[in-house]
Amino acid sequence: MKPTNENTISLPIKDFAKKVICDGHLYFRSKEGRRFYLMKPGIFIDESFLKKHATHQTVFDYEPVTNEAITLEFQKLFKELKYLQFEKDLRMKTQEIVNHFKMTFENKNHFLTFAMACYNEFCVLPKNDLIRMHETDLHLFRKSLYSAAFAVIIGFTNDFYHYPMIKDFYNLTLGLDVGLCESHYSYFVAEACNRENETPGSGLEWMKSEGATELELNVFLKHPEKSHKYFEDHQNLMAYPELKEIALYQHELSNGRGFPRGIPKGQVSSWEAVVILASSLVEIKDEYEFETDVMNYLFSYQNTKLGEIPVHRVYQKLCMGLGDLFKIKETAG
């Protein structure tokens, strides 16, 4: 969302070009003094945008939303975890990360502060594929960036403390919707994904009722298989290649009425549930209230998917891990 408090700095294009993802609100000020809103936090910075403004040596008005010191502290904790070997030390470091997350977001820091630390530390997906996602829909990229960060904290609070596993959770969630990156991706596809995320089984019915084309329906129905194929082709990037199967089954349901194959999905394993929950937490849309109210959002989260696909245990452990058992909604599972 656009900022309400002024915290504006002048940022030359040469300094903005050092960033990969925009971590603030970017404005262009005309000679007449009018400000034009150019970019919001969490957006992948396009090379063509940088080249255009480099020619004019533009100086932007910039309102950063992240706390760089906290981002670096999270990265330091992640790196410390990476080189630990003994289970006791791994558990203690994981708890330290969870406590730091809780303290950070009880103080209403912007969620991108954590998401940037996760991206900088864990992302191994090819940059060109992230650019393709951004070019398909900048909101799709932003959704994936935030969902992947949620996968990290969900993993930590559910006793996954091995660095390679957390890294795989991150990249699998980041690329989970890469199968949507097709020329016929549209508003219908994005909204159907949001509806499917909230109420499993409703996306296709909604698309048909709204007159979506066969090509749009195909993008929606086939994207799990295309995402699965993507991770098959990139399984060398994963420590646990078997995790790629969650891309195929992300929309299958226990009653066999899911897609793409209509295979009845039995008990969901905890590692699958981490990715399913993380993806479900974020919709493809323009604004996110949780960016500056993360803890309240997590504790009050309600979604029929928590019951349709049994991931409520993972959700409850997330809430307990963040230290507020009493705020867990009884309706969550």
Q: List pLDDT tens digits, range 41-82.
A: 999 998 899 998 998 889 999 999 999 999 999 999 999 999
- Rounded mean pLDDT of 9-23? 94
Question: Same domain, yes or no, for 137 and 55?
Answer: no
Instruction: Examine residue 2 and state whether it is found in any structural domain, yes or no.
Output: no
- Show which of 42, 64, 86 is a domain's final residue: 64
Question: Does the structure show a pLDDT above 60 at 264?
Answer: yes
Instruction: Count how many domains the chain has.
Output: 2
Q: Which residue has the higher pLDDT, 3 or 221?
A: 221
Question: Same domain, yes or no, for 91 and 21?
Answer: no
With beta carbons less than 8 A apart as the criterion, state whether 207 and 188 touch.
yes
HSE on the CB side for 255, CA within 13 Å?
5
- Of the pLDDT bands very low, low, confident and very high (cuts 50, 70, 90), residue 132 is very high
* DSSP code string of 253-293: -TTS--SSS-PPP-SPPHHHHHHHHHHHT--SSS--GGGG-
- Token pair for residue 245? 């199967």
| Per-residue pLDDT, 303 | 74
- Show which of 49, 64, 79 is a domain's final residue: 64
Mean pLDDT of the chain: 89
- β-strand 9-12 against 59-64: which pairing, if any? antiparallel
Question: Same domain, yes or no, for 165 and 41?
Answer: no
Q: What is the pLDDT of residues 141-163, one digit of tens each?
A: 999 999 999 999 999 999 999 99
Question: Same domain, yes or no, for 59 and 89?
Answer: no
- Token pair for residue 204? 């296709």
Question: Same domain, yes or no, for 25 and 77?
Answer: no
Contacts of 277 (CB under 8 A, 6+ apart): 150, 154, 306, 311, 314, 315, 318
With beta carbons less than 8 A apart as the criterion, state whether 278 and 154 touch.
yes
- Of the pLDDT bands very low, low, confident and very high (cuts 50, 70, 90), residue 330 is very low
- Burial class from Cβ neighbours inside 10 Å (0-12, 13-18, 19+) for residue 86 reads exposed
| Per-residue pLDDT, 305 | 67
Question: Same domain, yes or no, for 177 and 151?
Answer: yes
- Of the pLDDT bands very low, low, confident and very high (cuts 50, 70, 90), residue 331 is very low
Question: Same domain, yes or no, for 123 and 34?
Answer: no
Amino acid at 271: W
Please report, for the domain that includes residue 108, its CATH number. 1.10.3210
- Rounded mean pLDDT of 214-227? 94
Q: Which residue has the higher pLDDT, 181 or 287?
A: 181
| Per-residue pLDDT, 214 | 95
Question: Same domain, yes or no, for 47 and 78?
Answer: no
Q: Where are the alpha helices (DSSP H) in 10-126?
A: 13-16, 47-55, 68-82, 87-106, 112-122
Instruction: Examine residue 44 and state whether it is found in any structural domain, yes or no.
Output: yes
Question: Same domain, yes or no, for 115 and 199?
Answer: yes
Question: Does the structure show a pLDDT above 90 at 194?
Answer: yes
CA 29 distance to own-chain centroid: 31
Instruction: Examine residue 161 and state whether it is found in any structural domain, yes or no.
Output: yes
| Per-residue pLDDT, 6 | 59
The owner of tokens 């919707």 is: 177
Question: Same domain, yes or no, for 59 and 35?
Answer: yes
- Rounded mean pLDDT of 206-213? 94
Distance between CA 40 and CA 171 in Å, rounded? Answer: 23
- Of the pLDDT bands very low, low, confident and very high (cuts 50, 70, 90), residue 5 is very low
- Burial class from Cβ neighbours inside 10 Å (0-12, 13-18, 19+) for residue 313 reads middle
Question: Does the structure show a pLDDT above 80 at 258?
Answer: no
Question: Does the structure show a pLDDT above 60 at 234?
Answer: yes
CA 35 distance to own-chain centroid: 30
Question: Same domain, yes or no, for 239 and 282?
Answer: yes
Question: Same domain, yes or no, for 260 and 139?
Answer: yes
Instruction: Examine residue 3 and state whether it is found in any structural domain, yes or no.
Output: no
- Rounded mean pLDDT of 117-131? 96
| Per-residue pLDDT, 308 | 64
Question: Does the structure show a pLDDT above 50 at 173?
Answer: yes
- Show which of 64, 82, 99 is a domain's final residue: 64
Instruction: Examine residue 301 and state whether it is found in any structural domain, yes or no.
Output: yes
- Its domain, for residue 212, covers 68-332
- Rounded mean pLDDT of 265-292? 87
Q: Strands across the sheet with 24-29, in order?
A: 9-12, 59-64, 24-29, 35-39
Instruction: Examine residue 275 and state whether it is found in any structural domain, yes or no.
Output: yes
CB atoms within 10 A of CB 2: 9
Instruction: Examine residue 1 and state whether it is found in any structural domain, yes or no.
Output: no
